[in-house]
């Protein structure tokens, strides 16, 4: 789906999180960033993925990683998802799909025989210099932290 690959410069972005704070890629210069795109807040797969990252939050912090979740959900929906699952990291409310399109994760999908456009569950690991270190397209929702670390 995405044409971005290891070694590419990560596309810059500036989008609000669940609380209305403007979050930019440049905010993470000097840190490693796990940027994970998920189809829809509070659905089973997305909840499993976010909670797996939450459960490994201390390990990520020790290794110098920040984490950002991204979906096209509203701020309100992201706020509910974050609160309900006690997620310690921000969730971007990318309703206009600026970040989603910049990273090339929006496109045709199939579910139960129906075709539609949506977010392809994808994670980008971005290094301290803003370069893509890894692209994970086949996300294991229940064991995603292990895939990254």
| Domain assignment present for 124 | yes
Q: What is d(CA 14, CA 116) in angstroms, rounded to the nearest whole number?
A: 27
Confidence of residue 72 (pLDDT cuts 50, 70, 90): very high
Judge whether residue 2 has pLDDT over 80: no
CATH number at residue 70: 3.40.30.10
Give the structural domain span for 43.
Answer: 35-145
* Domains in the chain, number: 1
| Domain assignment present for 77 | yes
pLDDT tens figures, 9-49: 999 999 999 999 999 999 999 999 999 999 999 998 999 99
Q: What is d(CA 40, CA 38) in angstroms, rounded to the nearest whole number?
A: 6
Is-contact 40 46, C-beta < 8 A? yes
| Domain assignment present for 3 | no
pLDDT tens figures, 73-131: 999 999 999 999 999 999 999 999 999 999 999 999 887 888 989 999 999 999 999 99
Query: CA nearest 19: which of 93, 69, 119, 86?
Result: 93
Q: Which residues of 52-74 are buried (b: 16+ CB within 10 A; e: fewer)?
A: bbbebeeebeeeebbbbbbbbbe
| Domain assignment present for 54 | yes
Which of the residues 10, 25, 34, 46 is marked catalytic? 46
Q: Judge whether 51 counts as a catalytic residue.
A: no
Q: Which residue has the higher pLDDT, 69 or 116?
A: 69
Bridge partners of residue 22, in order along the sequence: 16
């Amino acid at each position: 789906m995405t044409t971005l690959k290891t070694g590419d410069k990560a596309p810059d972005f500036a989008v609000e999180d669940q609380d209305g704070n403007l979050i930019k890629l440049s905010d993470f210069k000097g840190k490693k960033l796990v940027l994970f795109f998920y189809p829809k807040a509070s659905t089973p797969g997305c909840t499993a993925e976010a909670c797996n990252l939450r459960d490994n939050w201390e390990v990520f912090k020790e290794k110098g990683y920040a984490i950002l979740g991204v979906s096209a959900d509203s701020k309100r929906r992201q706020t509910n998802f974050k609160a309900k699952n006690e997620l310690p990291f921000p969730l971007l409310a990318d309703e206009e799909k600026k970040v989603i399109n910049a990273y090339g994760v929006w496109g045709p999908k199939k579910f139960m025989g129906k075709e539609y456009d949506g977010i392809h569950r994808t994670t980008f690991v971005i290094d301290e210099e803003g370069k893509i270190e890894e692209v994970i397209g086949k996300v294991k929702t229940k064991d995603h932290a292990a895939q990254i670390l």
